[in-house]
C-alpha cells in the first residue's frame, strides 16, 4: 500500500515532469498535501500554456509568418489558414501492436472527432445501422439522433447472442469505453466478422490500456476496420486537463482495407479530414501537452491510472455493501467512476445540486473533493449524470489518484453523506 509520503514523492516527480518542460523552470518544493499537489499542477499547466503563446507568437490562425515553426514539446506542426490542413508529427497517445497501419487526425475535442467522423460517413455509405451498448455516452447518442440521419441508432440488449448477425444493411458497432463492464465484455465474446466498421471510443481507457489491446486483437481477428476516437484532456494530461484535444485514429489491417460492404477506411479518413476542415474543428497546437511521450511520462501515467483503478474497485465494493439500494451503476468497464441514485427519482437540477452540496460539505471537512464535470484528477469529482439509455439521472463520483488510506476515509464519508441526505429528503 502506498503511504502518503510515497504518494507525495510520486506527485513531486509528476510536478517535475511538467516543470522541466518550461524554458525557465520554477523552483518547486516537495508538496506537503494533496491541495498543494493540485494547486501546483494547475499553476504549472497555466505557465506552460502562457510560455507556448509567448514563444510561438508568429504561429497565428492565418499563418502569416513563414518564419513560424510551431511546436509543443515533442510535437511539431505545419498548417496553412485556420489549420485546415494541420499536420502533426509527434508521439502516439496509444501503444499499437504490429499488423496494422494507423493514421491520426487531431481535432479540437473528443466530440469534434466523433462528430466529424459520423458526418463524414455519409459520403461513404447511404444508410447503416449503428449498434450501441446500453449506457453509451449520452452526447454521442444525441448527436446521432439529431444530426446523423443516415445512421439508424440500435441500442443492443443483453444477452448479445444474435446482436451481430448478418443483416440487410451495413452495420457499424460503436463500442464505448463508458459502457457497463457486463455489456462491454459480452460484445467481445461475440463474432464480429459481420460488422462493417468498429468505432471505438477509448476516452475512459488509458492510452496503453490492456483493454484497448484486447479490442484491437478482437477486431483484427474479425477483420473489422477500426476508428478509435478519443478526448485527450482526461487521462492523457496527468490530471490537469491541459487543453481541449481530440483525435480519430484510423487502423487498417494488412490485406483487409476494404470489407464486403465497401467501407474503406482510407476513404473514410479522407472524408473525415474534409469534415474537420469544413466544420472548423481542427486541433490547436497549444493544446498538445508538451510533457507526453517520454518513458517518465508513461511510467507516471501508468502508476496514476493503476491507483485510480484500485481506488475505484475499493469504492465499488464499499458502496455495494453500504449503499446497495442507492447505487445506480458500480461496474462501468473503465472503473473510473460510479453513480449514485436517490430513493426518489432525480432530475438534472436535483442531481446537479446534490453533487454540488456533497462536494461543498465534504470539502469543508478537509477532504480533497470538488464539483467538477470530468474525471482523472488528483481529487474526487462529483457531477450530475444522465443515462441516455434509461433516461434516468444520478450523481457521478469520479475516483481520484489518492493514497489508499485517505481514499478509504473519503469513500466512507461519501457513503455516509449520501445515506444521510436520503434520510433527510424522506423525513
Q: How far is CA 113 from the centre of its chain?
A: 12
Angle, CA 409 vertex, CA 408 and CA 414 arms, to 5°: 95
Integer CA distances (angstroms), 107 to 199, 226, 420, in order:
16, 18, 44
* Phi, psi values for residue 6, rounded to 5°: -65, -40
Sign, CA dihedral 30-35-37-42, equals: negative
- Domains of the chain by range and CATH? 4-55 (no CATH), 71-287 (3.40.640.10), 296-426 (3.90.1150)
Give residues with Cβ within 8 angstroms of 402, minimum separation 6: 7, 34, 307, 311, 368, 378, 379, 380, 410
- DSSP strand E in 162-217: where? 171-176, 197-201
Q: What predicted TM-score, i.e. pTM, was given to this entire model?
A: 0.95
Find cell 459480452 and name the residue. 186
Angle, CA 59 vertex, CA 54 and CA 62 arms, to 5°: 135
Q: In what order do the strands lie in the sheet with 369-371?
A: 327-329, 337-340, 392-398, 380-387, 369-371
Give residue-wise pLDDT tens across range 16-57.
999 999 999 999 899 999 999 999 999 999 999 999 988 888
| C-alpha span between 235 and 411 (Å, rounded) | 22
User: What is the β-pairing status of strands 151-155 and 171-176?
Assistant: unpaired
| C-alpha span between 185 and 187 (Å, rounded) | 5
Name residue 250's beta-bridge partners. Answer: 103, 227
Give residue-wise pLDDT tens across range 286-330.
999 999 999 999 999 999 999 999 999 999 999 999 999 999 999
- Here the cell at position 389 is 439509455
CB burial of 69-100 (b: ≥16 within 10 Å; e: otherwise) equals: ebbbbbbebebeeebeebebebeebbebeeeb
* Phi, psi values for residue 349, rounded to 5°: -65, -45
Is the distance from CB of 293 to CB of 91 less than 8 angstroms? yes
| C-alpha span between 354 and 340 (Å, rounded) | 10
| pLDDT by residue, tens only, the chain of 427 residues | 889 999 999 999 999 999 999 999 999 899 999 999 999 999 999 999 999 988 888 777 776 766 667 889 999 998 887 788 899 999 999 998 877 789 999 999 999 999 999 999 999 999 999 999 999 999 999 999 999 999 999 999 989 888 888 888 899 999 999 999 999 999 999 999 999 999 999 999 999 999 999 999 999 999 899 999 999 999 999 999 999 999 999 998 766 544 444 456 789 999 999 999 999 999 999 999 999 999 999 999 999 999 999 999 999 999 999 999 999 999 999 999 999 999 999 999 999 999 999 999 999 999 999 999 999 999 999 999 999 989 999 999 999 999 999 999 999 999 999 999 999 887 6
- Here the cell at position 273 is 479530414
- Helices and strands in the chain, H and E counts: 10, 15
- Nearest Cα to 195, choosing from 156, 221, 222? 222
Find cell 450523481 and name the residue. 395
- Nearest Cα to 135, choosing from 198, 182, 191? 182
Amino acid at each position: 500500500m502506498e503511504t502518503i509520503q510515497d504518494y507525495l514523492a510520486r506527485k513531486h516527480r509528476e510536478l517535475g515532469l511538467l516543470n522541466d518542460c518550461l524554458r525557465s523552470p520554477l523552483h518547486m518544493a516537495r508538496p506537503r498535501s494533496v491541495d498543494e499537489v493540485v494547486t501546483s499542477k494547475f499553476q504549472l499547466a497555466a505557465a506552460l500554456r502562457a510560455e507556448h503563446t509567448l514563444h510561438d507568437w508568429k504561429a497565428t490562425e492565418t499563418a502569416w509568418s513563414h518564419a513560424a515553426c510551431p511546436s509543443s514539446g515533442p510535437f511539431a506542426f505545419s498548417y496553412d489558414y485556420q489549420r485546415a490542413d494541420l499536420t502533426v508529427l509527434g508521439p502516439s497517445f496509444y501503444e499499437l501492436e504490429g499488423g496494422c497501419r494507423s493514421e491520426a487526425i487531431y481535432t479540437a475535442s473528443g466530440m469534434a472527432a466523433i462528430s466529424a467522423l459520423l458526418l463524414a460517413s455519409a459520403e461513404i455509405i447511404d444508410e447503416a445501422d449503428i449498434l450501441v451498448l446500453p449506457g453509451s455516452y449520452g452526447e454521442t447518442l444525441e448527436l446521432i439522433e439529431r444530426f446523423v440521419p443516415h445512421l439508424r441508432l440500435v441500442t443492443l440488449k443483453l444477452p448479445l447472442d444474435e446482436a451481430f448477425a448478418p443483416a440487410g444493411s451495413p452495420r457499424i458497432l460503436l463500442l464505448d469505453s463508458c459502457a457497463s463492464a457486463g455489456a462491454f465484455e459480452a460484445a467481445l465474446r461475440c463474432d464480429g466478422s459481420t460488422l462493417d466498421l468498429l468505432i471505438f471510443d477509448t476516452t475512459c481507457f488509458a492510452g496503453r490500456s490492456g483493454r484497448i489491446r484486447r479490442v484491437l486483437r478482437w477486431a483484427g481477428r474479425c477483420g473489422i476496420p477500426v476508428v478509435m476516437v478519443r478526448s485527450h484532456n482526461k487521462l492523457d494530461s496527468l490530471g490537469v486537463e491541459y487543453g481541449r484535444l481530440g483525435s480519430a485514429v484510423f487502423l487498417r489491417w494488412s490485406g483487409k482495407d476494404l470489407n464486403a460492404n465497401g467501407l474503406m477506411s482510407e476513404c473514410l479518413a479522407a472524408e473525415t479530414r474534409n469534415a474537420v476542415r469544413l466544420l472548423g474543428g481542427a486541433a490547436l497546437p497549444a493544446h498538445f501537452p508538451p510533457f507526453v511521450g517520454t518513458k517518465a511520462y508513461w511510467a507516471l501515467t501508468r502508476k496514476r491510472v493503476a491507483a485510480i483503478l484500485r481506488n475505484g474497485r475499493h469504492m465499488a465494493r464499499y458502496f455495494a455493501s453500504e449503499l446497495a439500494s442507492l447505487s445506480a451503476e458500480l461496474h462501468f468497464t473503465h472503473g473510473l467512476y460510479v453513480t449514485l441514485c436517490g430513493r426518489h427519482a432525480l432530475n438534472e437540477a436535483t442531481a446537479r445540486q446534490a453533487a454540488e452540496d456533497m462536494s461543498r460539505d465534504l470539502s469543508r471537512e478537509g477532504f480533497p473533493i470538488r464539483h467538477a464535470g470530468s474525471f482523472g484528477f488528483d481529487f474526487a469529482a462529483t457531477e450530475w449524470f444522465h443515462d441516455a439509455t434509461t433516461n434516468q439521472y444520478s450523481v457521478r463520483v469520479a475516483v481520484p489518484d489518492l493514497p489508499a488510506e485517505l481514499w478509504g476515509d473519503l469513500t466512507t464519508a461519501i457513503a455516509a453523506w449520501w445515506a444521510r441526505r436520503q434520510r433527510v429528503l424522506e423525513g
